[in-house]
Amino acid sequence: MKQKYNTNKLLIPHPGLAEVLRYIVLQADTSVNYCIDRFGTNNTIADIWQIGKSRLIYKNDHPQIEQIQSVQTLFENNIHNIPGAGDCDCFTVFTIAMLKASKHDIKKISIYLQGNNNKTPSHVLTDCNGVKIDFTQPSVDSIRKYNFYDIIKI
């Protein structure tokens, strides 16, 4: 019997950085079981990359709203009405949940922030043991060029 999942979406007007990071980790944690059931538990980073690249579609959030979707919402009930449609923070939720579902060492998973200055990061991705996972890029372990970056342990 297929398990039913609650679709979670957090629509936050103008959140601060700490709040966004907190919700990314929260949404990833609520998505682990969904990822296990849908994608299994033995995925390497290369497997996660292939799964994500074949299913994720970049779409900006609606103006004035930061939407941080659970993986369930990303694939089954998102505001774009396109399975897999979201932005970089949604892709980070997906990546962290997939890494946790596949039992990668949590101590080696980080959120990697990028931007043009240290006060307003504009892009987020996942780092796992030094490998950057950014589904807005053409290949695994490639990142955008920005002046600033910060690595936040989850």
DSSP, collapsed to helix, strand or coil, labels residue 19 as helix
- Model pLDDT, residue 5: 44
Residues of the chain with pLDDT under 70: 1-15
What span, in angstroms and rounded, lies between the C-alpha atoms of 27 and 136? Answer: 20
The percent of residues in the chain predicted with pLDDT above 90, rounded, is 73
pTM reported for the whole predicted model: 0.91
